Structure 1
Amino acid sequence: MALKGKTLRAKFEQVLLFAGEPQIVLLSGPAGSKVVAVAVNLEGMEYPFFGAQMTEDQFVEYLRERFDLRYLLTKPDMKRHFLFDLASGEEGYVHLVRHKLTPEDAETLLPDAGLFAREHTEKVKLPALQGRSEETFGIDGKWDLDEFSKLYGQVTDLYAVFSSVDAFLDEQASIDKRQKIQDAFLKPFEGGGSYVSLYKSLTSVQSKSARLDVQGIAYHSPGYVKVKGQTKPLSEVRELVNHLEENLVEIEKYYKSLYELLKQNSLLRMPSERFQSTGVMADRVKISTQALAEALEAYPYDSILKMSAGNPLIAAKVTLSVFRRGKRLLEFFLEGRVSYDAPSSQK
């Protein structure tokens, strides 16, 4: 089969699914793009493949199982499809030929619906996915459905703060990426501030590979909630919960002291831009926040202040919010309904 049309030279990365011979493969295109392709039946080629070009973000979303392979190949965000013979590759590169996907040939080229990334036989070797691990919350007792959302919400919010700090401090991060993170951190406090919008804002600028995913839920008791995300922020959430459990009474004293300071000086609802970042009051807020941060032990106050553009009021409000979410998460543990060990029947 002689292929005609615009061509693309792509680097062969790896096989994703092998069943006697390669069935799904991954290639790298220009500017960090990816090409995912499936084996098809076409005459005139030794190993014919049909594929689509997409951004790395969309490929990561596929790996996170936000959609199946058929959807990925039908709606690639770069809107380009290709045919190629894998056997024609030279020195690790393959020449792809543009192909317009039509309704007539879609059923012969596209895989069946319901094939998700978990069906891959080979582990994906993608730098963006390095440093991810799973965390399992064992659950027991009686639960209302909305309580599962509350549990996941506290974990997600705390994870968003810790992972955003890591991304902001990453020496390899571009200036543009750092600015987006800081903007997401500052914007919710304009006009007084909304903690809900803060966490949503931070999550929205996370890279797809850094976001927290639900890997599994067993609603019965004993059951579990399993999540997957970056190892470091997940471990920081665990450390916070453990530290609060051991020192809650003492930490609450520092929380109440900071909260009362802001309340008595009408700072709780004050827009961040109206607060003077230097002066006596700024120093008092900073000292009280540092005391709470030190009591929390592993809390990255200096980094939070830096992300706050040096505004002590923003750093104070975030620190108060982190404590409250940590305490709400701890309550599930104190009730005996959540643990960091999956029930024996689930292991």
Structure 2
Amino acid sequence: MEHLFETDIPVVSLFKKKAGKGEQHFIACSIPDENGEVDHYFAVFVGRKHLIRYFSEQCDLRYLFAFASGRKYYEAKTIKPDAKGKVVLTEFLQAPSESQLPDSRFFASFHTSEYGFEAGMEGEQRLLIDGNWNMQDFGAFYQKFSDIYSYEQAIEYLDDGGSSRAQRVEKAFLSKPFKGGSSYMGFFNDLFDVIPHRERPSLEGIEYHSPGYVDLSGRDQILNSVERNIKLFLKNDESIQVAHDNLRGFMSKSKLLRITGRSPDISPKVAEELTELSDVLYDLLPVGGKDKVALIIGKKPIVKAKIALALFRRLKYTALFFAQGRLTYAESMESSPN
């Protein structure tokens, strides 16, 4: 049991119960009587993913009680352990009343305990904003930036050959059909999901003026890799664009854009030219781990070509904000965009 928020009494507490090889988690809030004294505690069972979201401040406490999927309610007369060292919870089968739910906007940062907080990321970057922006621009930029970050971070996990993370990264490369937009979103989402919450990129703050800034946090090494990728893309954008156009043009003419990455039925001649064109683009793209990816993909030219096109689109879109002068790194960023 952990007391997450205390005043004179425990107000918000966390209980853990062994369940198979894992644990179940219950968060309990004190419920006052008419005199303001503790009458009992009202608790909710939450799955691990919701608990992680709560401690990551991606939801407030009320969300766990009112909206989290799979939630179940319990009551406890006291949260003091009994003679066996256990807290007795009785299942509450009715819909909770408003008086039993915590207030909105109570986040984990209000806790008086450090329990559940992982060490923050050591890396921070500030991007300077200028020109005209809208909310869609911010959302699209951050999504593409996160995809590039996730790719670079996931590639590092392949060094831990045989680990569960490395296996999940390999599965992401080999399990998607790469036929339409949802496949690519699923691919990058799978890479993002491999990353522990404390290592994921996040938006720490936005000050939108002209000029303004965006503060990003993440692993310092990966943030620097993404910065380098963007700079190199801008420096070599003409040759990268030509390689992209040649590959995509050939795939369009050969009707390869709509077939899945698992399709084996292409002629040796088409496969040979596809491999040559995708190799040219992939070699020019400023991303890491190319040898590692080649080992995973093996003789799957369609998969390699489609991943190369997907990386190109994300690098192109992200770099465009810098080429337009709407974004720049806080330290001067030299480039020669078209």
Take 1:132 and 1:282, find their aligned partners in 2: how far apart are those partners?
A: 44
Task: Give the drift of 1:72.
Answer: 0.7
Alpha-carbon contact 2:3-2:13 (below 8 Å) kept: yes
Indicate which of 271, 290, 300 corresponds to 2:289: 300
Task: Give the drift of 1:21.
Answer: 5.4
Alpha-carbon contact 2:170-2:296 (below 8 Å) kept: no
* Aligned equivalent of 1:218: 207
Indicate which of 16, 19, 24 corresponds to 1:33: 24
Identical aligned residues as a percent: 22
Q: CA RMSD in A?
A: 4.2
Take 1:101 and 1:329, find their aligned partners in 2: how far apart are those partners?
A: 50
Structure showing the higher helix proportion among its residues: 1
AA in 2 matched with 1:223: G
* Aligned equivalent of 1:332: 321
Alpha-carbon contact 1:15-1:22 (below 8 Å) kept: yes
Indicate which of 217, 220, 235 corresponds to 1:246: 235
C-alpha distance 296-142 of structure 1, shift in aligned 2 (>3 A): same
TM-score, normalised with respect to structure 1: 0.71
Alpha-carbon contact 2:154-2:169 (below 8 Å) kept: no
Take 2:273 and 2:233, find their aligned partners in 1: how far apart are those partners?
A: 24
For residues 85-119 of structure 1, give each alpha carbon's deviation from its aligned partner in whole angstroms, at most 9, with x where no partner exists.
Answer: 4443799x64242241645x745543222212333
Alpha-carbon contact 1:182-1:308 (below 8 Å) kept: yes
SS of 2:132's equivalent in the other structure is coil
* Aligned equivalent of 1:155: 145
* Aligned equivalent of 2:310: 321
Give the number of equivalent residue pairs: 322
TM-score, normalised with respect to structure 2: 0.73
Take 1:235 and 1:319, find their aligned partners in 2: how far apart are those partners?
A: 21
* Aligned equivalent of 2:12: 24
For residues 252-276 of structure 1, give each alpha carbon's deviation from its aligned partner in whole angstroms, at most 9, with x where no partner exists.
Answer: 3443443344345443334434345
* Aligned equivalent of 1:140: 130
Alpha-carbon contact 2:55-2:116 (below 8 Å) kept: no
SS of 1:221's equivalent in the other structure is coil
Note if 1:79 corresponds to 2:72: yes
For residues 126-184 of structure 1, give each alpha carbon's deviation from its aligned partner in whole angstroms, at most 9, with x where no partner exists.
Answer: 67x8768665433122224432233223223334544555677764428995686357x
AA in 2 matched with 1:81: Y
Take 2:293 and 2:204, find their aligned partners in 1: how far apart are those partners?
A: 29
Task: Give the drift of 1:325.
Answer: 1.8
Structure 2 residue runs without a partner (length 5+): 333-338
C-alpha distance 194-142 of structure 1, shift in aligned 2 (>3 A): same
SS of 1:274's equivalent in the other structure is coil
For residues 178-233 of structure 1, give each alpha carbon's deviation from its aligned partner in whole angstroms, at most 9, with x where no partner exists.
Answer: 686357x513x2xxx22454114542685495465544433322323345566665
* Aligned equivalent of 1:5: none
AA in 1 matched with 2:189: T
Take 2:210 and 2:8, find their aligned partners in 1: how far apart are those partners?
A: 42
Alpha-carbon contact 2:149-2:222 (below 8 Å) kept: yes
AA in 2 matched with 1:138: L
* Aligned equivalent of 1:57: 49
Take 1:40 and 1:309, find their aligned partners in 2: how far apart are those partners?
A: 60
Alpha-carbon contact 2:128-2:214 (below 8 Å) kept: yes
AA in 1 matched with 2:184: L
Alpha-carbon contact 1:167-1:173 (below 8 Å) kept: no
Indicate which of 260, 264, 267 corresponds to 2:256: 267
Alpha-carbon contact 2:60-2:106 (below 8 Å) kept: yes
C-alpha distance 340-283 of structure 1, shift in aligned 2 (>3 A): same
* Aligned equivalent of 1:8: none
